[in-house]
Every structure is written in C-alpha cells, then in structure tokens.
Structure 1
C-alpha cells in the first residue's frame, strides 16, 4: 500500500525551517540595520525593466556534466540549467519538480515518481530513462564520478560502484516513459532533498549515448531541462544563460539572461559592482575583498547570512609529518580562529572546532576543543616529535600549506603560517594553484596541508561525515579511514529513531576529531551586496543559489 508524500514534505519543511532559523534563512532583501526589507510577494517584473542578471562565479567550472560535477561553482550553473525530480523551494523545502507525483511504500524504501509533461531544451521529451541512465552512469566506476557515493542510498548502488556489482541490480528502473521506480537500501528521510541535488539530475540519454563529449561546451548537444539554457561557454571567461522557453514552468521565470563572468579578484568584482557592471558581488558565487567588509557594513550595504558549511584545512595522513596524529592535533590547536575572523575574514563567521555545523549539532558552537589552545598544541607537538624521532621542531621538514588562488585564502594561509611559526616553531611554506588544477592535486593527495571547504548538499549531519568513510572516497582527500567510524555510519543508516541516530553521528564525529584528518577553521557565512531592485534571489541555508524566481523591479 502506497501513500502520498504530504507527510514527508511536511516533515522536511519543518527540518528546513529549523535550518533556515539556525543559519539565517533566505535573507536577500535586508533593510538597514540588518533587518529584512518588507516582502514583495506580489511584486512583478516590470516590462520596461531589463531582466538581465550579471554575476561573478569566480572561476571556470571544472565540469558541467551532472555526473562529474564536484564543486560549488559547477553546482551553481547546473542548478539554473537542470531540474531534478524535486527542487528546493524558496522556503528551503523539497517540492515536486520534474516529478508531478511521488508515492512511497509503507516501509519507506520504494519511491515511485510520476513525471510531468516536460521537454529538454532541444524539444526531446524528458523521460524516466533519462534519470535511470544518468544515475547508473555516475555509479559506473569507469566514469570516475567523485560524487557517486551520493547514490549509495540506492539499493545496489555502492556494490555497483565499488565491488563490481551489476548496474542492472541498482534500484532505479524506468517502468515506462512517465514512471521511475526507485528502491533504497534503507529508509532515508532526506531522500527528497537528495533528488534535488546535482548528482541526481537527469541527462538527455538520447544525446549522451550518441555524443559522449556532450557536456564539454555550449551548443546543440548541451541540452538541459531547467529554467535556463546555456547558450555560450567561453572557457575561463564567461557563461551566458538564457531563459528556457521550453521549461514546463517558464511563466514563473522572469529573467531573460544570466551572464556569469569568471573574475578571480574580489577587488575587481566589487569595483565592477560599484560601477554598475555587476548586479551582485560576493557570496555565494563570488567573493568580497576582506579589506572592504567593515566599510560595507558601515554603509548598510553588506548582507550576511550564516550557512551550513565549514572552512577547513585537510591533512595528507598518508605521508610526511602530517601522517602523525599528534602533529595534526598540534597544528589544529595552534590556530587562533577568532583572530582570523576578527581581523581577516570579518564576515561574522563562527570559529569551528568540529566538522558538523551548529545548525545540525548545536553543541558545535563550542566544539570538541578550545580555540587557540597553544599549551595543548605544544604538548601534542612534543608527543609527535618523539614519535617521529625528532628532538626539536626545527628538525621537521618544512610543511607546505596549499590553497587555491584567492586573496582571502592567501591572507588566511599567511596568518596561520605565522601562528604555526610563533606558537610551535614550525616552518611553513605556501603554495597555490588555480581552482581546477588545485582540485586535481588535492584529490590525488599531492599535498601536505590543503585548504578546502564544504557546504551541505542536504540538511543532515551525515553529509559532513560520509565523505570520510573510505580513504578512496571521492571527496575524502586525506587518505584517512577508521573501522569504528565506518561502523557508526553504517549503524546510523539503519537506525530509525532520530535521537539515537543523531547520537551515532555525534559519536562518529568525536572519533573523527580525535584522529584530526581535518582541522576545521570556521563555519561559513555568506556575505554579499546586491542591486537594490534585484528581488527574489533564493539563497538557501546550505549556501545554494537559485535564480528561477529572481527579477528586477
């Protein structure tokens, strides 16, 4: 016996509202003093106002293939051009999108999605096979999708991706053109949030099967099913999106174009905004210069929104000094996070001494250890030196701290370099690369300490832990794994009691922080400025942005 999903949507709405309350919600029209301006629920785009949005996405997206995308920049573009079975609405809750009806079995493991009448941007119908094809393509190990683990919720998904299992046994089947049946390995209360995530997006199977390189450039082969279609991709320069007139909900879409430039200089970005060349500057797509933050606050233009995300330094745990847990702990404890926030980032971030954001684990406002605990750092350092056979920090090989090219990342790295030298006597050299090159380097473990960040893909603590389950996992990037950690995550997957499941995940985080493969630095906020007449840009509590509802009044 099946039941409709009003209950599940209601529960997810409650969870999403909680996340929004904890992390700032959708604050995109604040008045002076940090308050939101009065809503414009009934306002509409005026015919005489150009509906052309100009934003900066900072860098070239590494991939615009839903099965290969692995970063926020790629996700930002895909979120505008594609649409999954569900979409996260302006209130932060999943709602029907490509699917017009969703039924769930009593045991909550079988989802039946009925697709609405919709077409790809080239006129091909969107069919259930497009979802089955896309999900199985990402799980196929030969395609090396680093986000394949997000599909392990499907029955047989992990086995097909890691253990040589058959893709035919994966729990996603197109029953006919309009019906997709999905069988999960275990009940997953946030599954309808996952179906809005980009790894779960459909791919035009007709195009992809005939043209394996379909996603490399804009053109007739790059077909999408979302509110916008990509009509230009000038690599490392800009992307142009235009309204998708074939989109089933095109009447809701007011913007005619979105121009996404790629400027990796926050000073230039802010200057272009001030000169009227951009309509938005700063997060979640770009960045503001740290030196300008206070002035932007003072003149009332800065919008700040806490989000579920963490800025961290990953350690290569497989070789060099950082293979030693006590050296890792020494480095993590010797960072003055509050000083970084007060003097460098200046964006009201929260010091992070845990990996899961406080919107999910409230106790992580304090975390697992004190900030700037230099005495403890020195004790850990001494233990680590003894274990490595060194008498003095000067005998340690110089530690290389890597980051992707950015003014803010550079300033943070320089400050931490100084803290490690001053507090521990450890020599640190800095190294940086452009984003795509940097990602490949980190994924290959070709580093010692590397700056990374993580924004939640969905509203559950597992999203901040599961990437570290396996050393070879797509986003692990540390070489670390723990049997005890793995067992706790496995138990959480089958635990039906919410509080008991939360405790299992908290226990897993404790193990993670004891081994310290990652040094958390701060929990993110989004900081930006925007054109006064730009309305209804939806920035979620997870840091995602959608322009489906945006318009200029």
Structure 2
C-alpha cells in the first residue's frame, strides 16, 4: 500500500512539473492589471501575494482561519501587537500595566487615534468591540477563549453584555477586570479577535459590514480599496493610521486563489511575488531553492471524528482508528519531511510554566503515541475494534472523510482511506470548497474531517481549550466532564506550576479518550521572491506584510 502511495506521489510530481515547468525564482510584480483592478501608479509600491482563497469572513469577531487572520491584521490594530521576534509590543495602546494581583489590566491609548474614515477612535470603541465578542448574538467562536477570564463574562455570554468588566474611564484609558489572573492576557490583547470595530458601520450595515470595502471601516496600516470575490483583495495605505510613516507600501494585492497549481503558475509568471499554496508535488524540486521557505509553526494537524455520532462514541473505536495510522509514513513520505509525526496533541515549541517545552513534561516523559512499531499498533487497533464489536470492521457504517483540496489534505485522505481499509472499514473522501468547509465542520455537519490548529499565542491552553464542551472551536464535539473540570481548574489557578499540572492532566484524559486524533506537527512552506523585504511569518501562521518593502 505504501509503495502505491509513493508511486502516486511521484506521478503527481511528474505531471505537475510537466504542466508548470520549473521556477527560476525571478518573479516580479505584474505591471498590468488584466483582472480589472487599478494598476499601481508609476513609482508606487505594490506587493502582490497569495495567502489563501476567499475567506469565510474577515469580521474579527467571527474569523477562525489563518488566512482570514492575516487579512484582518493588515486592516486593524489591536491594543497591542506582535513583533518579528514574536514579542508583545505597543499597538493602539502605547503603554499598559497589570495590577500587582493580576486582576486588573489598564491600557493607555495613544492620543488622536482615528478610524480609516477619519472619525475619532477612543477607548469606548474597544469596550463596544469586546462586549460584541462576548454577546451570544454575535456567536463569536473565540469568545470563551479570549474573554472567559474577564469578570462578568458568564453573565455577558448569557445575554447581559453590560456585566462584562471592560470600561473606559476616559477616551484614552481602557480598564479590564479579571475574575482570576491570566498571565498571558497581554497576548490576548494582541489577538485579532479583539480588534476594535466601528459601532456605527455595524449598526448601519449589520453582518454585511465586513463584506464590502465601503463599509469595512478599520484602524490599521491599510484599508480595503477593492474586493472582487474569487479574484483579489486590494489594500491601500491608510493615511489615518497612527504609525503610517512606517508603512512603505502604497498598496497590497492579495490574490484569492484556491488551487495550488494555479497559485504556482501565478508565481512563476510573475503575477505574484509570494504564494502560500505551494503544490505538494513541487516540494522536492523546490526545497533547495533560495525562494522556498520552510517556517516553524506552533501547530498540530489532526483528524476530527464527530463524537456526537454513535459509531464514534466508543473510546476503543477512536483508539483503533488512531493506531491504524502510520504517522511516520504520513510525515516523512506523504508530507515529504516538511511535517513531523505527532506523538501528542500539544506539539513542540509550546512553552510550559518554566520555559521548557510542554511536550517533554507530560505523560511521565513518554510519548502518548508510540510511532516506533507500526505493525504492533495495527495489531492492537484490530483487537480494539473487535473488542468494540466490529471484528474485521463488520457492522461498522461507511465513513465519509471531509477535506478541502489544498496542501497535503487529498493525499493524506487517500492514505487514510487505505489505512482504515486494513481494519475492514470503508472510507469515502468528500472534497469541499474552502468557503463551505469551515462552517460545515464547525456546525458538526460531517462524519470525519481533517483539521488543524495553529496556536494564536504560545500557551498550551490555547490548543487544549478548543476541546472543552461547548467551545466555539470544538469541531470534534468532544465532551468530557473530567476534561472540562481540569481545564477550568487550570484557568482559575494563579500558580504557574500548579496550573501546568492541571493542563498536563487534561491532556492525559484527552489522549486516553482519543477525543480527536493527532496526526502531525506542522510547519509552513511557501515561495517568496527575495525582493520583498521587511516582512515576516509568525509561529501562529500569520504573514506580516504591513511593514514590508520592495527592493529595487
């Protein structure tokens, strides 16, 4: 089976190379605008890039995708920001301080802040925006994660938003009271979900405010000048941004391309200077090229089983499906060594309480998933399925595995199809368009689905929280009273070491239940012309182009 997949991968590589040719790394911005967008004026600097297809949403409160997060990043400025070293720095707030007991955070906004339409932006706008995230009518997937520690959140999330302890004693001061200390609250204040949004445009336009350039009022380095779905988003420099002098580009054009092969052609022909969607088949030929970049991520690629379905309610079934996967083969062969085999849910690079890697301190120092002997794992998987009442897969319903067609998803899905066939199970692969894929998965309208989580900030809770009962990002619909209790204890614990212990215990429960199936630890690969300077890629998967420049 593995030889067949290796041959299939080689065949795809050969066909793609034949169709696309080879890349000489000499891409330059297109001087024309054949798609109908306004061509940049002579002497103007325009960066053209591709970081994803049509976003599901670019409403800061509703977005859950990385491409959407980058689009929001270009247009909005949070209280705090993240620099190229992944450190927290000033944003709309020029200084900030927590109280000695950690229960009050005070943010001092810069004087003279403005929205992109020129109107004044004050601390009251942050109060409105944060209460909007907490409001159940908004249905913000991240509400619990980013505001759950704020005093009054439970009442606010039940509908009484004025109970959320976020106040503006004056136009330049925002005060946030917490129910319990949160050492990483500064990281939350730099997270795109908590961007300020303009109350007037939202009240006038409703949900449609974030779908049209003329109503997308923002406060960041750029504003949206044009937006043609399935084609491009054109950003223009925002003269009302407080740090406009640091913005060197006049415009940024984000091509909305879903097909990786089309993105690669656009890069080769010079239509774009950067692409995130590199065809997997091209990677072996590109690995040593100077414009090929492989960047570390704090991320886990995993498989969601819809735990509300009766066929996945038995832990033995979930464990069997996990053990039947040869993760070393997936990471080293199918993913061509750009990812690594997962041994847990929380991956490398994520800090524990003492600065060490969280992954090295759990489960008594042993991996939760032992990838050293796949044949033994497969034998155990077959026995577990038999013990669950499905010997050789008999009586188990056919499985539909949902993916979107980017990166490694299709080749991995085809492998899973064959791997679970070894258990006697039938798997059908359903390829879903990106714009529909996320809402479908979030709603639980699937049986099995590929998934992945890139941490929004470096704390293991950011990953572990998504599997708490009722969390807006809990696509697996996993629910465990024991897990929830441990996560709630961690959230309320002030002592870092004790808090870490609760988080490790929670991962123990999760991995014993196999509430979701970790597959690989991710990295990010892309192609970027070296004429782009001053940009960076964060471990959270965001592309920081807002302060970039173009050499030459």
Q: TM-score surpassing 0.5? A: yes
Distance 2:398 2:320 in 1: 15
The question of whether the paired residues in 2 share the 8 Å contact of 1:311 and 1:454 is answered with: yes
- Partner in structure 2 of residue 281 of structure 1: 275
Contact 1:354/1:520, CA 8 A, preserved across alignment: yes
CA contact (8 A) 2:320 2:384 kept: no
Aligned partners of 2:272 and 2:95: how far apart in 1? 39
CA drift at 1:412: 1.0
Matches within 5 A, 1:301-340: 301-340=291-330
Secondary structure (helix, strand or coil) at the match of 1:130 reads: helix
* 1:241 counterpart residue number: 235
In the TM superposition, structure 1's runs of 4+ consecutive aligned residues that sit over 4 Å from their partners are 47-50
Of 321, 346, 350 in structure 2, the residue corresponding to residue 356 of structure 1 is 346
Provide the C-alpha distance between the structure 2 equivalents of 1:366 and 1:243, rounded to a whole number of angstroms.
Answer: 51
**In structure 2, C-alpha distance between the alignment counterparts of 1:257 and 1:93, rounded to whole Å:** 26
* Structure 1 unaligned regions, length at least 5: 1-31, 33-46
Alpha-carbon deviation of 1:353?
2.3
Q: Residue 12 of structure 1 corresponds to which residue in structure 2? A: none
| Counterpart contact for 1:322–1:448, Cα < 8 Å | no
1:293 corresponds to? 283
The alpha-carbon deviation at position 494 of structure 1 amounts to: 2.7
**Structure 1 residue 382 corresponds to structure 2 residue 383:** yes
- Which of 111, 128, 134 pairs up with 2:129? 134
**Alignment correspondent of 2:451:** 452
Structure 2 counterparts to residues 503-542 of structure 1, below 5 A: 503-542=501-540
Match of 1:29 in 2: none
Cα shift at 1:195: 0.8
Match of 1:144 in 2: 139
CA distance in 2, matches of 1:447, 1:214: 27
CA contact (8 A) 1:347 1:527 kept: no
1:155 is aligned, of 138, 144, 151, to 151
The answer on whether the counterparts of 1:306 and 1:349 sit within 8 Å (CA) in structure 2 is no
The 5-angstrom pairing of residues 177-188 of structure 1 reads 177-188=171-182
More displaced 10-residue stretch of structure 1: 371-380 or 265-274: 371-380
Distance 1:551 1:448 in 2: 45
C-alpha offsets along residues 36-65 of structure 1, whole Å, 9 cap, x if unaligned?
A: xxxxxxxxxxx9975211111322111111
Q: TM-score, normalised by structure 2?
A: 0.86
Structure 2: how far apart are the matches of 1:172 and 1:446? 36
CA distance in 2, matches of 1:298, 1:203: 43
SS at match of 1:73: helix
1:167 maps to 161
What is the distance in 2 between the residues matched to 1:158 and 1:544?
30
Q: Residue 345 of structure 1 aligns with which residue?
A: 335
**Range 77-86 or range 375-384, more displaced:** 375-384
CA distance in 1, matches of 2:378, 2:179: 43
Matches within 5 A, 1:392-411: 392-406=392-406, 408-411=408-411
Higher deviation after alignment, 524-533 or 367-376: 367-376
Cα distance change, pair 507–210 in 1 and its aligned pair in 2 (3 A) = same
CA-CA distance at 1:298 after TM superposition: 3.3
Which runs of 5 or more structure 2 residues have no equivalent in the other structure? 1-24, 26-40, 351-357
Mapped pair 1:63 → 2:57 = yes
For residues 98 and 523 of structure 1, the distance between their equivalents in structure 2, rounded to whole angstroms, comes to 34
Cα offset, 1:498, TM superposition:
2.3
TM-score, L = length of structure 1: 0.86
Aligned to 1:430: 429
Cα distance between partner residues in 1 of 2:337 and 2:280: 8
Q: Which residue of the other structure, out of 470, 476, 498, is the alignment partner of 1:478?
A: 476
**1:253 and 2:243 aligned:** no
2-structure distance, mates of 1:448, 1:366: 31
Distance 1:310 1:464 in 2: 9
Report the CA distance between 1:165 and its aligned residue: 5.6
Q: Secondary structure of 1:465's partner?
A: helix
Q: 1:274 to 1:50 in 2, by over 3 A?
A: farther
User: Which secondary structure does the structure 1 equivalent of 2:466 belong to?
Assistant: helix
- Cα displacement (A) at 1:390: 3.7
Rounded Cα–Cα distance in structure 2 between residues aligned with 1:350 and 1:499 = 28
Q: Contact 1:538 / 1:549 at 8 angstroms: preserved in 2?
A: no
CA contact (8 A) 2:344 2:359 kept: no
Change (3 A) 1:221 1:451: same
Counterpart for residue 502 of structure 1: 500
Equivalent-residue separation in structure 2 for 1:533 and 1:275 (angstroms): 15
